[in-house]
Amino acid sequence: MTTRALVVNTGAANTASVFACLRRLDVEPVLAERADELESARIVVLPGVGAFESAMTRIREAGLAEALVRRIDSGAPTLAICLGLQLLCAASEESEGVAGLGVLPTTIRRFDASMPVPQLGWNQIEPSDECALLQPGWAVFANSYYLPEVPSGWSGAFTDYATRFVSAIERDGVLACQFHPELSGDWGQELLSRFIQRAKSA
């Protein structure tokens, strides 16, 4: 039986590329609009391309914020991509005064002017030894903001661009990537395949 994945509709997301990648991995993507759907879903994907404030507004107006927090806190299989990772944090320098989901008690920072912003293109991923899903490789980025440190209780991977920043974190069934695994060739597809296989066995 084909596995289904609920994709959160943030109103500013790369849903077309996420849907295409999931289908290549024999996963049926469906847009999630209601909190009760998130509670029982086997896999949830929180994608994002766009602004922190507009995405958080959409999530809160749809009544999805609390369900997402409960799901991630419980370690249920959840994939966050690009802006999706940033939304897990308490705040972002992109949208001062706007609260994020607060799963990660930190603030997203903006790259300084020493390098072109946004970062666009391929860069290297260097996971710590504690990571189970993340492996060394190259991935596609499109970001002006970054997670400065691995939160307590999580394992992470690092990338250098203007500074050394956290390019992905994982804990239990949750994987959050600043890069776009769905656009990162065979390496990205293999990462998503490992995530999905773990989700199926959870």
Residue with tokens 């109103």: 11
Nearest 5°: the CA angle 103, 116, 110 is 25
Joined tokens for residue 118: 């946004």
Q: How many CB atoms are closer than 10 A to CB 116?
A: 11
Longest dimension (CA), the chain: 50
Q: Which of 89, 131, 177, 180 is catalytic?
A: 180
Tell me whether residue 170 is one of the annotated catalytic residues. Answer: no
CB 52 within 8 Å of CB 87: yes
One of 82, 89, 131, 177 is an active-site residue; which one?
82
The yes-or-no answer on residue 89 being catalytic is: no
In degrees, rounded to 5, the angle at the alpha carbon of residue 68 between the alpha carbons of residues 64 and 70 is 120
61 is catalytic: no
Chain position carrying tokens 């008690």 = 105
| Residue 119 C-alpha from the chain's centroid | 17
Catalytic residue among 66, 177, 182, 190: 182
Q: Which residues are marked as active site?
A: 82, 180, 182
